[in-house]
Structure 1
Amino acid sequence: MATRVVIAEDEAIIRLDLKETLQEEGYDVVGETGRGDEAVELVRQLEPDLAILDVKMPGLDGLAAAREISTEKKSAVLILTAFSQRDLIEQARDAGALAYLVKPFQRSELIPAVEIALGRHREMRALHDQTQSLEDQLETRKLVDRAKGILMDNHAMSENEAFDWIQKTAMNTRGKAKDVAEQVIAGSISPDSDAGA
């Protein structure tokens, strides 16, 4: 099934270009708007996998819209902007954006940014499903991130490969991602050992 996307960009030409590029790459653009408040409503109604939000929009800016969408955990959020200042990037991250793209962007930059946002959202949902409290989620996230770093450094894995290995190992051992992460950090399991097979 194709990944479902809502686009919120107030410049019609950029919105059309985004839509055409995403459709050519096999994504399903299920909704589009030029307003931030409408974007939040579209995400609530259509429940897409990804919302692409421009920072500067009428009604509600992209950061405020991202905050609402992220709080409801409805979809992954990718922020588009013409500015690359560090404080704006930090604001986007704090608002729940999982990836960031500076305009004008190339097609070769769009799809990796989309996939990063989707991958991070998938990770967060998987971790959320396994944990109860916010403290557990935060601790699990920190442990999994540390374990991913170890796997990336020591086993030449990408971030996605490392996360997938942790998840698969947790399923194979009927454990939790947190437990596998702790074992990776302790050095008691690795992709070279039988536990991940």
Structure 2
Amino acid sequence: MHGVESKIFIGSADRALRKRLRSILQQQGHLIIGEAEDGAGSLRVIRRVLPDLVILDKDLPGMPGMEVSKIIEDDKICPVLLLTPTWEQELFEKAKDSWVFAFLVKPIQEGHLLSTASFVINAFQKMMKLARQVDELKETLETRKIVERAKGILMKNLDLPEAEAYRRIQQQSMDKCLPMKQVAEAIILAYDIKKKK
């Protein structure tokens, strides 16, 4: 586990707890890049330092941990590990659709903290990688649809075979140093304007 340096933020009103968490995590090579004792203060620091993991006390003064975690999710910053005095099914249900990736019931045990923190960071990284892949796939499909439409316009209006229509779009893309999607969009736009005349 040594050498795995993650940037971690700790939000809790309990100074002794923060100190203990900091000590455990630092011994394992993690970097504590911020601490705060209330919800609003936590949020300010989190937005500034952009940690890999946020550890929040459920009962943060001013703004509960769950509320802070919702904002962290909206800003797509990082995963949250929530500390809670007791195991609560209701809290678990609320957290299902948020970026609270795990709960730790106090008192915090060193082994639990380290394994859970490590698991949460890895799970989040995998999730973000999948989300990027999904976005790339959507973009690829969108491009393909637009290119297909532009190709159809060229085939119909210039009486070109499919391969030649595609080659022309490709050629324009290279000549103008533009993505094929942009060239295809320009062809569609020109056609739509002409059609409206």
**TM-score bucket (shorter structure):** 0.5 to 0.7
Partner of 1:91: 94
1:35 aligns with 2:38: yes
Identity %: 29
Alpha-carbon distance, 1:127 to partner: 1.1
1:67 corresponds to which letter in structure 2? K
Between 103-112 and 86-95, report the one with greater CA deviation. Answer: 86-95
Give CA-to-partner distance per residue, 1:93-132, whole Å, 9 cap, x none: 3332011111012101101110121012111110111113
3-state SS of 2:92 partner: helix
Equivalent of 1:52 in 28, 50, 55 = 55
TM-score (norm 2): 0.64
Query: Structure 1 residues 65 and 114, CA, compared in 2 at 3 Å: closer, same or farther?
Result: same
* Uncovered stretches (5+) of structure 2, i.e. residues with no partner: 139-197
Question: Are 2:27 and 1:24 aligned?
Answer: yes
Aligned mate of 1:11, from 14, 31, 38: 14
What amino acid maps onto 1:87 in structure 2? Answer: E
Letter in 1 for 2:119: I
Match for 1:2: what amino acid? E
User: Aligned runs of 1:152-167 on 2, under 5 Å?
Assistant: none
Q: State the aligned residue count.
A: 134
1:75 partner letter: C
The residue number in structure 1 matching 2:162 is none
Deviation digits for residues 136-188 of structure 1, max 9, x if unmatched?
8xxxxxxxxxxxxxxxxxxxxxxxxxxxxxxxxxxxxxxxxxxxxxxxxxxxx
**Equivalent AA in structure 2 for residue 10 of structure 1:** A
Q: Indicate conservation of the 8 Å contact 1:79/1:92, yes or no.
A: no
| Native 8 Å contact 1:10 1:35 kept in 2 | yes
**Alignment RMSD:** 1.6
- Secondary structure of the residue aligned to 2:100 is coil
Q: TM-score, normalised by structure 1?
A: 0.64
| Superposed structure 1 runs of 4+ greater than 3 Å apart | none
